[in-house]
Amino acid sequence: MASIIGDFSYDIFISYRQKDNKYDGWITDFVDNLKKELEATFKEEISVYFDINPHDGLLETHDVDESLKEKLRCLIFIPIVSRTYCDPKSFAWQHEFVAFVEQASKDRYGLKVKLPSGNVASRVLPVYIHDLNPADQKLFEEVLGGMLRGVEFIYKAPGVNRPLRSAEENPHDNLNHTIYRDQVNKVANAIDEIFRGLTESDQQSEEIPPGEFIKQKREKDSISQPGKPERGIVSLFKDLKSRAVPQLLAAYLVAGLIIVEIVSWLAKKYLLSPHLVSFCMVALAAMIPAVIILAYFHGKQGRKRWTKAEKIGIPSNLVAAVLLLVLLFHGRNLGATTTTVSFVDEQGKEVDRLVPKSEFRKKLLVFSMENNSGDNDLDWLAHAMPDMLSYDLSQDIYLNIRSVYDISDNLREEGYPDAISVPMTLKKKIASEKHMDYFTAGQIKGQDGLLSAEIYIHDTRTTKLLAENTFTGRDIFTMVDNMTIWIKEALGIPEAHIENTVDLPVAEITTMSVPALKNLYHGLDEYMLKENREIGLTFIRQAIEADTTFAYAYRNLYAFSIQATKLEEAMRALISLMTYIHKLPENDRFDVKHDYYFHIKQDPEMSMEVARNWAELYPEDIKAHEVLAMRYMMLNQKENELAEYEAILTLDPGQYDYLLTIGDIHKNQGRFDEALKYYQRYADVFPGQSKSFTRLGSLYSRYGDNGQATKYYNKALLIDPDDISIQLSLAGIRIELGKFGEALNDLNDILEKCTNHQERYAVYNTMEDFFFLRGEFERGIEKMELKIAEQEKYDDPINVLSSRIDATESYAKAGKTERALNIIADIEKQLMPPFDYLVPFGYLIIYIQMEDIKNIEKYLPIVEEYISERELWMYQVFLFFYRAKLSELKGRYDIALQQYEKAGELEPGNKSIDYYIGHCYRILKDYKRAERHLLDLLSVHPYWPEELSELGFIYADRGKEDKAIEYLQKALFVWENADPGYKPAVIAREKLAELESAIK
């Protein structure tokens, strides 16, 4: 059967691997169903070539090219893309797909067709039945010469990636929510759209004399059946014309177009909602029936009375129009795109500003460009130009921008550490996870000093190409400025805003020095992408040497120097940054001023005021709310902290990770039901993510329901069987249940599976806790040191330093006080104000373990003063704890008890406080209360040995020797391999021997 167009052999060619049809004949069924759908879609007969025979005479010994040449002369090529299709060695790939792309690229239509809608589509229409891995995706797109777009027939469920069947047993379990019948229809519709594009192309190319095409069309349209129907239509038209219906309707439509144009002009000029234009168009279109009714009954001269049809029809039309408008525009803002915000800045000046409303802000993720110039000296521009573009766009309060450096960790995890050649599917995934509306792609070309940058904007939800443009020049600064304006226009930023807002040239907010710029981006690449931190800092310092006013470089030097514990350099950079703060975009100035007042001026109140003003002026800026939430956390104002995170969710309900953050706060505050609600909300949105179940598992584990915890961890493990953290959580459940031998075997097995430093760090951390729990401090310290050694290989030095401070408590507990004091003394040399507060904290922790009253009394006031001056009330719980320990050492258990209870009120989710409260009640001989607190704690952690031992002492004091022996034996079971000098185990063993001897 020949093609319906031109001299082609077939309309459609189906290409597939025989492997994909062997299991259940899926492809054969699909082709049969597609043919039926095509019959219902096209008036003409559509010819489909489908090779049902695995060979069809085309053996490897035959002349494949000649055999297929005629059959491949088709209009549309449909490859069934699967896990096996993207194989350059396969017959279908080499002799069908590659051959068709080459052949179609040279025929009269070309590989790409302009559609009636104005969009462009490829004559290759993929039907994919499996999710492809990035390598296969890239391979397919390289041959196709563009992005892989097609129709999915994929059934996706946890652990499942297979073709979608026409009759699914459990269709609602399909995470893609696709329906087989609908997808077949989409393929047929796509074919129809491509055919219409080809037809229009033919009509435009044929040399038809002026007016002849219309004449031919009229002659075709004039062929109809004679009789009453035709006379009725003519008669109706004459009647309508006599009543002036066409004339009045035309006048109404012209007036409507004028109204729409006026509304559109007003919306652009006065920053009104763009929805107003759509609202106006829908309202005018919805009232067309009423206009026709009015014209029909009043268009003829002499007709004045209102008929029943008018009295019913017009009000009905009005009601229907109102209902339609409510349905389509409910919840949409039809007023101004901006709102006025008034606030008092940190200098006491009253400020009024116009800021955009939430729904009118645009979120764009700017990916790196590909350097296709052939000149390796231009490699630095692949990241530099997109980041400059991001930084330039960030000046606009209508935009929320992220650059490639903001997602470097995500790209590294996905196997693209250099952020180059990222597949379209991965870009979509990351943009979706970051809740960005749009993302970019692009490439750089150049020759003889002339640069050319091609940039594409894609819609994140659909990956549809929204806009594309090419910018050419010798000055990268001018090119970036031109790109900035074009992107704003392409994203629909109001013209009046673009024309009237301050938009400094990118050279003004970065540098005019190309050497400085190159050094900065070499530094960012080394530090952020290659993780060569010291080399990165060296390049950034060279950038500042080339331009001492380079504020953007100072900002990066400040942030990276803190991470590298080069604190003196960081503070110098922050001071210089304040000198050139005018060169930063406004929202970045708030961030800098917040840190400046907090660290340099040491004025937490002013710092807080800056954060509040930031959120007032940029109410849609999530980072402003993040900073405010952090400050409320430091002030220990949990309700205000929660309110800021809730505000973020209100601004952008797609910021799903904050559901987990809010759940964590509720969990730590002892609010099980609230935490469960937020974790469950996240799990409902992401049932295919292991994180959904690990959070639920951690919640149940926190409250002692190890059965439920195990259930959820196992669910998570089904999704991510190689996830080390999930395996560690299950090992932690065994530790909680006292299955120490099994748990240790698990930990050793998990350690052998680790593939990177982060995973080994996590295992050593769990091993450290395991041995410390069991009083094996020598082995615990060994694992702790291995843990820190792994951390040094991947983490920022500031975090490693924090771990070393934490390690001092363990050294002191193990009696290695000299080692602990040496670590703190060494850290003291590295720290400078305001970060030196960690030093007295460290000394205090050590002397608490040493029970050194004199030094505790020396350092406790220093810590208290620092917390008060800096308003770091999140540490207040530690103050009560340290005061209580000091009171205990002085024998004032009544005072210690009050202080422990206050610590418990501040941190209600921390069950370990119950041990200290129970201990004080025992010393004060209030055994019932002591027993209640300890039993409450052991209901959650049944194998915590100090609590078991303490309960044994309570029962011994009360004369309940049997119960005392029971709990002491259980404690010593945990401590069976404790270090010989571990004091709590020694005391418990002596008490148990005393009780057992008394019974004998």
Pick from 559, 566, 558, 517: nearest CA to 539:
517
Tell me which H or E stretch contains 355: strand 350-356
CB contact set of 932 (below 8 Å; sequence gap of 6+) = none
Assess contact for 950 and 743: CB atoms under 8 A: no
| Phi and psi torsions of 111, nearest 5° | -75, -30
> What span, in angstroms and rounded, lies between the C-alpha atoms of 629 and 635?
10
Choose the weakest-confidence range: 559-568, 574-583, 768-777, 847-856: 559-568
Note the pLDDT of residue 647.
Answer: 83
> What span, in angstroms and rounded, lies between the C-alpha atoms of 550 and 143?
44
Pick from 831, 806, 830, 832: nearest CA to 820:
806
pTM exceeds cut of 0.85: no
Mean pLDDT of all residues in 584-607:
88
Mean pLDDT of all residues in 46-58:
69
Q: What is the 3-state secondary structure (H, E, C) of 827-859?
A: HHHHCCCCHHHHHHHHHHHHHHHHCCHHHHHHH
Note the pLDDT of residue 270.
Answer: 57
Q: Is the bond preceding residue 834 a cis peptide, omega within 30 degrees?
A: yes
pLDDT band at 148, cuts 50/70/90? confident
Name the one residue in this structure whose structure tokens are 């010819």.
47
> What span, in angstroms and rounded, lies between the C-alpha atoms of 767 and 738?
15
Using DSSP, state whether 701 is helix, strand or coil. helix
Cross-strand pairs, 443: 370, 454
Q: Cα angle vertex 501, ends 499, 503, to 5°? A: 100
Tokens representing residue 975 in the block: 């401590």
| Phi and psi torsions of 898, nearest 5° | -60, -40
Residue 297 predicted with pLDDT over 80: no
Tokens representing residue 731 in the block: 């090992």
Note the pLDDT of residue 42.
Answer: 87
Q: How many CA atoms are closer than 13 Å to the CA of 138, on its beta-carbon side? A: 9
Mean pLDDT of all residues in 433-438:
85
| Phi and psi torsions of 121, nearest 5° | -130, 155
| Phi and psi torsions of 737, nearest 5° | -90, 5
Using DSSP, state whether 125 is helix, strand or coil. coil
Using DSSP, state whether 960 is helix, strand or coil. coil
Note the pLDDT of residue 213.
Answer: 36
pLDDT tens digits for 807-846?
A: 999 999 888 999 999 999 998 888 777 677 778 889 999 9
Q: Cα angle vertex 399, ends 397, 405, to 5°? A: 120
Assess contact for 193 and 115: CB atoms under 8 A: yes
What is the maximum span of the chain, computed from C-alpha positions, in angstroms?
Answer: 124
Residue 210 predicted with pLDDT over 50: no
> What span, in angstroms and rounded, lies between the C-alpha atoms of 464 and 962?
74
E-only strand ranges, 27-118: 48-50, 74-81, 112-114
Note the pLDDT of residue 94.
Answer: 87
Note the pLDDT of residue 396.
Answer: 82
> What span, in angstroms and rounded, lies between the C-alpha atoms of 285 and 676?
48
Residue type, 539: F
pLDDT tens digits for 469-528?
A: 999 999 999 999 999 999 998 988 877 777 777 788 999 999 999 999 999 999 999 999
Choose the weakest-confidence range: 679-688, 705-714, 867-876: 867-876
Pairing mode, if any, of strands 350-356 and 338-344?
A: antiparallel
Note the pLDDT of residue 650.
Answer: 78
Note the pLDDT of residue 1000.
Answer: 65
Using DSSP, state whether 64 is helix, strand or coil. helix
Note the pLDDT of residue 359.
Answer: 57
Using DSSP, state whether 274 is helix, strand or coil. coil
Assess contact for 968 and 948: CB atoms under 8 A: yes
What is each CA distance from 59 to 22, 50, 56, 80, 367, in whole angstroms? 19, 17, 8, 21, 46
Q: What is the CA radius of gyration of the chain?
A: 36
> What span, in angstroms and rounded, lies between the C-alpha atoms of 979 and 989?
13
Tokens representing residue 548 in the block: 């001492």
Tokens representing residue 534 in the block: 């010291």
Residue 848 predicted with pLDDT over 60: yes
Mean pLDDT of all residues in 724-753:
96
Pick from 680, 688, 684: nearest CA to 155:
688
Mean pLDDT of all residues in 943-972:
95
Assess contact for 942 and 737: CB atoms under 8 A: yes
pLDDT band at 56, cuts 50/70/90? very low
Assess contact for 89 and 95: CB atoms under 8 A: no
Name the one residue in this structure whose structure tokens are 């029962």.
955
What is each CA distance from 693 to 14, 703, 741, 765, 938, in whole angstroms? 42, 16, 26, 22, 25
Note the pLDDT of residue 13.
Answer: 94
Q: How far is CA 327 from the centre of its chain?
A: 31
Mean pLDDT of all residues in 940-955:
95
Task: Give the number of other CB atoms < 10 A from CB of residue 230.
Answer: 11
> What span, in angstroms and rounded, lies between the C-alpha atoms of 237 and 193?
32
Tokens representing residue 777 in the block: 């401090």
Tokens representing residue 633 in the block: 């956390």
pLDDT band at 229, cuts 50/70/90? very low
pLDDT tens digits for 309-330?
A: 777 878 888 888 888 877 776 6
> What span, in angstroms and rounded, lies between the C-alpha atoms of 845 and 456?
56
Using CA of residue 250, residue 252, residue 255, residue 257, what is the dihedral sign?
negative
Residue-averaged pLDDT of the chain: 85
CB contact set of 607 (below 8 Å; sequence gap of 6+) = 594, 595, 597, 598, 601, 631
Residue 8 predicted with pLDDT over 80: yes
Pick from 581, 579, 511, 568: nearest CA to 544:
511
> What span, in angstroms and rounded, lies between the C-alpha atoms of 15 and 29?
14
Tell me which H or E stretch contains 29: helix 26-41
Tokens representing residue 425 in the block: 């599917």
Note the pLDDT of residue 220.
Answer: 41
Crossing angle between the packed helical segments 757-773 and 724-736, to the nearest 10 degrees: 10
> What span, in angstroms and rounded, lies between the C-alpha atoms of 958 and 953?
9
Tell me which H or E stretch contains 161: strand 160-163
Using DSSP, state whether 182 is helix, strand or coil. helix
Note the pLDDT of residue 24.
Answer: 84
Residue 974 predicted with pLDDT over 80: yes
> What span, in angstroms and rounded, lies between the C-alpha atoms of 528 and 661?
25
CB contact set of 688 (below 8 Å; sequence gap of 6+) = 156, 157, 158, 175, 719
Using DSSP, state whether 79 is helix, strand or coil. strand
Assess contact for 397 and 121: CB atoms under 8 A: no
pLDDT > 70 fraction of the chain, expressed in percent and rounded: 88
| Phi and psi torsions of 364, nearest 5° | -130, 130
pLDDT tens digits for 241-253?
A: 767 778 778 888 8
Pairing mode, if any, of strands 370-371 and 338-344?
A: unpaired
Tell me which H or E stretch contains 66: helix 64-69
Q: What is the 3-state secondary structure (H, E, C) of 652-684?
A: CCCCCHHHHHHHHHHHHCCCHHHHHHHHHHHHH
Tokens representing residue 593 in the block: 């001023």
More confident residue, 291 or 274: 291
Residue 300 predicted with pLDDT over 70: no
pLDDT band at 620, cuts 50/70/90? low
Name the one residue in this structure whose structure tokens are 């220990």.
636
Residue 993 predicted with pLDDT over 50: yes
Pick from 140, 123, 122: nearest CA to 131:
140
Note the pLDDT of residue 217.
Answer: 37
Using DSSP, state whether 814 is helix, strand or coil. coil
Using DSSP, state whether 49 is helix, strand or coil. strand
> What span, in angstroms and rounded, lies between the C-alpha atoms of 168 and 588?
52
> What span, in angstroms and rounded, lies between the C-alpha atoms of 296 and 704?
77
Choose the weakest-confidence range: 613-617, 738-742, 898-902: 613-617
Name the one residue in this structure whose structure tokens are 């929204």.
466
More confident residue, 978 or 199: 978
Choose the weakest-confidence range: 265-269, 612-616, 725-729, 741-745: 265-269
pLDDT band at 347, cuts 50/70/90? low
